Amino acid sequence: MFPTDTTATVPVTQEVLDGIGKVLAVHLSYSSRAEQRGRTPKFPSYFMKATSSLSLSGDSVERPAETELLQFEGEIALVIGTTARRVTPEEGWAHVGWITASNDLGVQDIKYADKGSNIRSKSGDGFTPFGPVLLPAAGLDPENLRVVTKLNGAVVQDATTQELLFSFGQIVADLSQQMTLHPGDVILTGTPAGSSVFQPGDVVSVEVSGNGATTGELLTTAVQGAEGFKTFGNPTKVTDADRIDAWGDEEAAGLASAAEADVLTPEVRAQLEAAAIATLSTSIKKAGIENCTIAGLTATKGRRRVIGRARTLRYVPLREDLFKQVGGGYNAQKRIIDDLNEGDFLVMEARGEQGAATMGDILVTRAQVLGAAGIVSDGAVRDLAAVEDIDVPVFHNGAHPSVLGRKHIPWDIDTTVACGGAAVQPGDIIVADSDGIVVIPPALVAQVAADAAAAEAQDAWVLEQVEAGHAVDGLFPPTGEWKAKYQAFKEGQN
């Protein structure tokens, strides 16, 4: 039976673990983690962990055989003390009986298989270390708690709840809208930046403190498991994007900088060439990048597909004194044009301004001579008829005869820019034609290309069925019987 005295500090024993009702977890809740991931959610989102994943301080956890990405995430766990159903954010914290430390472990090698629910990646036996004591919530300030995670004694995560995107009260209230939270239910409240991978033999500790009280260190040792994932279920699959996500960054993952890596292999390039822009957009969103399209521009070369690595140029609004300092002569615009290499795709931020040109035929010709793949500007171009005759594709926001000095100052190059509503960084992969322009982070390009190729193959099969006279209900996209038929078709192709 779960403890009922919410005024007492409670040691976490196996009996306490056995009394826990459900384990809920927040995906993303700390600003440092959101910044690391490059996205900030407007509202919290959640997943569930099996109660069989709970373990005690001092227990070990197995890394399954033939996997590499056992990830730790130090977190503050809330334990519900009184029943909560449809409470307000202002009332939510009052329903928390205790807080403690937890470690939201996961094996990222199988994460892809459950499409965000994390069932297998996060619910392995021992994957939710918990304790070593429950601290009464009534004596704590939820806005001034601290979580510290150490890997083999070295601090790797250190954050306070002042950087939470969502208060604990809001999280409790939000969950209580749809489900009753009972005493003994647990909510893992997300992890700050610094989460990473640990290896067999490594020890991770998590400690939560506030108002002079502490949970003590929650200790977990990784050991190598003898059993892996069998062939009757999804196989493990790890991409470089998964490694970067699990380790925290490219350097920690032991990977070359994405800007330096040759991600446009012949296979990837062929897949990008064959996929519709709409399909690529969907695949990028499935990979976690929602805002991936540069919108509202016109292509000089119609449906010709263009693929290249982004180089960037940013214009700022005209200010006469600044233009005198940096706008004339061999300015940033001319410098980046002369510095383009074969396969570069110049992306210009011009704030959507149509009242002055950002480039004309001479500079576009220079880009063509240097082997540039294409040019994108969310501003205007001049000499449009001549630009349209030049072989390098240009995507623009209209024509204007004036020079850039009427509205713009060429300011800086090879920095993150905002073009047509999308953020673009140097090294991003740009894929474009008259249907649209998509931006793919280089770490995701192989994953996106493969997913798009699979989607195109399915769409081609669906089109054949439609042409044969079948109705689209249940066929587009395939579900039920049609899904089974498509799977049989794929197996027959292999």
User: What is the per-residue pLDDT across 180-224, written as a single tens digit (0 to 9) for each?
Assistant: 999 999 999 999 999 999 999 999 999 999 999 999 999 999 999
Same domain as 467, residue 349:
no
In a domain, 332, yes or no: yes
Average pLDDT of the chain, as a whole number: 93
Q: What is the pLDDT of residue 483?
A: 86
Q: Using the structure block, give the residue that is written with the tokens 């977990």.
A: 220
Count CA atoms within 13 Å of residue 44 on its CB side: 28
The reported pTM is 0.57
Q: What is the CATH number of the domain that holds 325?
A: 3.50.30.40
User: pLDDT tens track of the chain, all 494 residues?
Assistant: 688 999 999 999 999 999 999 999 999 999 999 888 777 899 999 999 999 999 999 999 999 999 999 999 999 999 999 999 999 999 999 999 999 999 999 999 999 888 778 999 999 999 999 999 999 999 899 999 999 999 999 999 999 999 999 999 999 999 999 999 999 999 999 999 999 999 999 999 999 999 999 999 999 999 999 999 998 998 898 877 788 889 988 778 876 544 445 788 999 999 999 999 999 999 999 999 999 999 999 999 999 999 999 999 999 999 999 998 888 888 999 999 998 989 999 999 999 999 999 999 999 999 999 999 999 999 999 999 999 999 999 999 999 999 888 899 999 898 899 999 999 999 999 999 999 999 999 999 999 999 999 999 898 898 999 999 999 998 888 888 888 888 888 877 76
CA–CA gap between residue 405 and residue 154 (Å, rounded): 54
CA–CA gap between residue 458 and residue 282 (Å, rounded): 14
Number of domain units in the chain = 3
Helix (H) or strand (E) holding 454: helix 445-467
Contacts of 292 (CB under 8 A, 6+ apart): 281, 284, 285, 422, 438, 439, 440
In a domain, 361, yes or no: yes
DSSP 195-242: -EE--TT-EEEEEEEETTEE---EEEEEEE-S----TTSPPP---HHH
Q: Which residue type occupies 458?
A: Q
CA–CA gap between residue 126 and residue 118 (Å, rounded): 15
CA–CA gap between residue 283 and residue 152 (Å, rounded): 38
Same domain as 152, residue 75:
yes
Same domain as 234, residue 113:
yes
46 forms beta bridges with 26
In a domain, 66, yes or no: yes
Q: What is the pLDDT of residue 261?
A: 53
Q: What is the pLDDT of residue 259?
A: 44
In a domain, 275, yes or no: no
Which residues are annotated binding-site positions for Mg(2+)? 383
CA–CA gap between residue 276 and residue 272 (Å, rounded): 8
In a domain, 114, yes or no: yes
Which residues are annotated binding-site positions? 360-363, 382-383
Same domain as 239, residue 319:
no
CA–CA gap between residue 401 and residue 383 (Å, rounded): 7
Q: Using the structure block, give the residue that is written with the tokens 């937890």.
A: 102
Same domain as 339, residue 297:
yes
In a domain, 487, yes or no: yes
Same domain as 192, residue 299:
no
Same domain as 202, residue 303:
no
CA–CA gap between residue 262 and residue 298 (Å, rounded): 29
Q: What is the pLDDT of residue 258?
A: 45
Which residues are annotated binding-site positions for substrate? 360-363, 382
Same domain as 193, residue 76:
yes
> Do residues 229 and 110 make contact, with C-beta atoms less than 8 angstroms apart?
yes
Residue 468 domain boundaries: 459-493
CA-based radius of gyration for the chain: 27
Q: Is 153 exposed, middle or buried (0-12, 13-18, 19+ CB in 10 A)?
A: exposed
Q: What is the CATH number of the domain that holds 240?
A: 3.90.850.10
In a domain, 451, yes or no: no
Q: What is the pLDDT of residue 7?
A: 94
Q: Using the structure block, give the residue that is written with the tokens 């470690």.
A: 103
* Residue of 436, 395, 414, 452 lying closest to 292 (CA atoms): 436
Same domain as 411, residue 469:
no
Same domain as 482, residue 426:
no
Same domain as 375, residue 335:
yes
Same domain as 154, residue 22:
yes
Question: How confident is the model over 24-63, as pLDDT tens digits?
Answer: 999 999 999 988 877 789 999 999 999 999 999 999 999 9
In a domain, 256, yes or no: no
> Do residues 205 and 217 make contact, with C-beta atoms less than 8 angstroms apart?
yes
For residues 271, 277, 281, 282, the Cα torsion angle rounded to the nearest 10 degrees is: -80
Q: How many CB atoms lie within 10 A of CB 399?
A: 16
Helix pair angle (480-493, 445-467), 10° resolution = 110
